[in-house]
A and B are shown apart, each in its own frame.
Chain A
Amino acid sequence: MRNADGLAALAEIVRQRESGHAAERIGIDRRHFLAASGAALGALALAACDSMGPKSAKSLLTFAMNQNEVLERTLFRHTSIDVPKASALPAGSHFPSYFVSRHVPVWDPAARGPWHLEVSGLVRTPLRLSLTDLAALPRIGYKLDHFCVEGWTAVATRTGVRVADLAQLAGADRAARYVDFQSFDDGYHESWDIESAMHPQTLIVYAQDGHYLNAAWGAPARVFSPVKLGYKNTKYLTRIAFLPERNGGYWSDQGYEWYGGV
């Protein structure tokens, strides 16, 4: 009710101001004008609470997001690496599990044939890797922080293959400035800038805390890097596509930052 009253007061004032020296005509003095304006502004502030804010601000927010991305990409270094605190405990079974399908996505070989990870797009030799193939490639294991967009962190040991090694193996083209990580989790995917994908801590992970991934954590394989927020790290991987242009992503198409850098 207060919102409506305040807005009505504001509309009345605007109407009166537009029709000339309203203050003189109707005898509204400065104090009343200020009080009414204050009430109207207060009502607007209340009306704005827990809304997305004025629509007109959207272009400004997009502009800021793009400028932030320019700054973040300038700040980005392959030599900036994540080293979790020595005292940090691994999350273990407390590690959260997120997916967008209704149920935990599980690859069903009876229905879909054996699982493969496809490396394709702007590459000389497209690859089709089984889990055994992946495990035979140079193995990297790091204890790493996971930074979730929600604000929590969790530590886990991630074992897998560097995306940079896969890019080299497939002969990724120089024109591939972006990489799309696609999944069998109801179309979930997120595309990355090539620099972040080539970071030494960006891995195609098939084991967590020394065990092959379980379904909740993204089995058979997922991408993981501490330089990207959790939502950029596609689980239930099916395809790594090297692309000349960015290809959006599940959450970045809905309003989260496409860059999602840490």
Chain B
Amino acid sequence: MKRHHVVVRITHWVNVLALTIMVASGLRIFNAYPAFARKGESFCCYPFAGRPIPSWLTFGGWLAGARNWHFAMMWLLVVNGIVYLGFIYLHGEWRDLVPRRSVFRDAGEMMKFYLTIRKDHPRQGKHNALQRMAYFAMPLVGIVAVVTGVAIWKPVELAPLTHLLGGYVWARYWHFWAMFVLVVLAAVHIFMVFTVDPYSIPAMVTGQYRERWSPEARNARPFVHLAPAREEEDSHAQR
């Protein structure tokens, strides 16, 4: 039994590519005007106005290059997102992601475990409660990023949408926030993959996974109990 269906594995890595290019090219676009205020006005809510994003975090080379990448890659992001969401809806994977009623209590228990207040790993299914929240939030924030992005792409042709988001300046601000939240979610995700469950990497490539490798079985928190159970190592060594 594969841990992740092949559709989920492919859309995951396509999303890595599309999102990376979208974020980096978006930051290059942002650098052309690293502020939010309408000319002649001030803007309440961005303290870093006028300070560009470090260029090594950006992609596209110059504004036109970044825009061309951004407006091409958005289709890959959207189509990939629709394929993923459509698949998990039809195939049932959404049940592993939609938060259960107890998600906040369970997430609290996970936090206690990570903070070593609690000794044993809480029981979980495929994902723990924190993962459920993160993986559920990711597509939602992604949708916010797409909708706000469309609103600042076509603020006249789709004026009602842009007005709904508070006008061009605010839509651009929400677009920036959506990007930021996606980046934070992805960063925490990558950190946890490497420090808690590196076995999820082959699981997301080949689909291979053993329950004995799971963080719950290893009682793993960041940097702790990374090694798999001993019998796993033995069977591995025979090869």
Contacts and interface: CB of A to CB of B under 8 A. Distances in A.
B157 A147 contact: no
B159 A61 contact: no
28 contacts: A48-B59, A49-B57, A49-B59, A50-B28, A50-B58, A52-B65, A53-B59, A63-B72, A80-B156, A82-B155, A82-B156, A82-B159, A89-B40, A94-B40, A95-B40, A147-B155, A150-B33, A152-B35, A153-B38, A153-B168, A154-B39, A154-B40, A155-B40, A254-B64, A255-B68, A262-B154, A262-B155, A262-B157
B67 A89 contact: no
A210 interface: no
Interface residues of B, number: 39
Most interface-central of A151, A251, A255 (chain B CB within 10 A): A151
Nearest to A93: B40
Interface residues of A, number: 50
A149 B152 CA distance: 11
Contact of A92 (B20, B40, B57): B40
Interface string B141-177: 0000000000000111111000000011100100000
A159 B31 CA distance: 32
Given A145-B155, A151-B172, A257-B67, 7 more contacts: A80-B157, A145-B156, A145-B168, A150-B33, A153-B39, A153-B168, A261-B157
Interface in B68-102: 68-69, 71-72, 75
A256 interface: yes
A147 B168 contact: yes
Given A49-B56, A50-B28, A150-B63, A89 B41 contact: yes
Contact of A256 (B30, B55, B64, B158): B64
A92 B39 CA distance: 9
B29 interface: yes
B32 interface: yes
B24 interface: yes
A75 B39 CA distance: 28
A152 B69 contact: no
Contacts of B207: none
B60 interface: yes
B61 interface: yes
A90 B40 CA distance: 7
B99 to A, nearest CB: 33
Most chain A Cβ neighbours within 10 Å, of B35, B72, B169: B72
Given A48-B59, A85-B167, A95-B40, A151 B32 contact: yes
B71 A64 contact: yes
A77 B61 contact: no
